[in-house]
Structure 1
């Protein structure tokens, strides 16, 4: 099960990386278009969709690597049962919020598909297509939050060290 979940998080991160590469290509095409006097309709909108997809698809991988911003001042002052209780509370609340976010993201994409909602730009993209990246990323984030909660509950969670203190300017 651990290998399956880690594979899911890594696959989502790989998709996020592909979105970033496609975003780079879109931006370079836009720059080249301005210099060479050609225009690709809807390219700015697609760049925005790719940026959102990259951000959402990378959320779970970032969580599992300990790279999300955390306020650890209070946590660092606690130890033992109090620290674990605070971790469990934070992970339970985070899981609840991630589940709600996933539910409403999937619901938004489904409704956009049901209503044939399209973008207001001249490209007329069906909005459910770019919303899939957000919905999938939100669902995988909810799975990752629940994974962390279960690991903490069992006492098997290894809190990754992000080395944040080493990177401050």
Structure 2
């Protein structure tokens, strides 16, 4: 693999891994919020907004983990049709599916970024007691969808170049 391609691949993999690490931090923050809520109930004190922030952390973790999950082959993939195809027809279908997924991911990213930007411009705040500016938790959604769009375009380019390796998950065999 040429040096610029290797550097690009390293940067993209670093982006996906970094988003996954950030998602893990959001999960730890979610745990902290839940623990604070439980302690508050047991020790008879109230921290307003803890449940809301737990929801923000859950959403952030989910969106930030999307690209890493895609690149590891852990997304749900319906292979009934693809498994029956062979050769050029199968490759053509894969390219079409990745193009459609890339387009949807880019649209999702654009609208997520637009939502966060409009929330910032209009000074939208949550309806709870915390009155958090909504653009703050929406940033994780916007960043997660942008990284997912990059990952889908990455998969599409790899498929077109004939370098895509479809990762497979052993999840089905572990569940049955």
2:157 to 139, 150, 154: 150
2:54 to 42, 47, 51: 47
Aligned to 1:120: 127
TM-superposition CA deviations, 1:23-74 (whole Å, max 9, x none): 0010011001000001101000000000000000000000000000010011
2:65 to 58, 68, 71: 58
Counterpart check, 1:164 vs 2:175: no
2:12 to 5, 30, 41: 5
Counterpart check, 1:111 vs 2:118: yes
Question: Residues of 2 paired with 1:168 and 1:24: CA distance?
Answer: 26
Aligned to 1:136: 143
State TM-score, norm by structure 2: 0.95
State TM-score, norm by structure 1: 0.98
2:107 to 100, 106, 111: 100
How many residues align? The count is: 169
- After the TM superposition, which parts of structure 1 deviate over 3 Å for at least 4 consecutive aligned residues? none
Structure 1 residue 168, shift from structure 2 partner: 2.9
Structure 1 residue 154, shift from structure 2 partner: 0.4
Aligned to 2:42: 35
TM-superposition CA deviations, 1:70-123 (whole Å, max 9, x none): 100111111110110110011000000000000000000000000110001110
Question: Residues of 2 paired with 1:74 and 1:122: CA distance?
Answer: 50
RMSD of the alignment, in Å? Answer: 0.7
Structure 1 residue 167, shift from structure 2 partner: 2.4
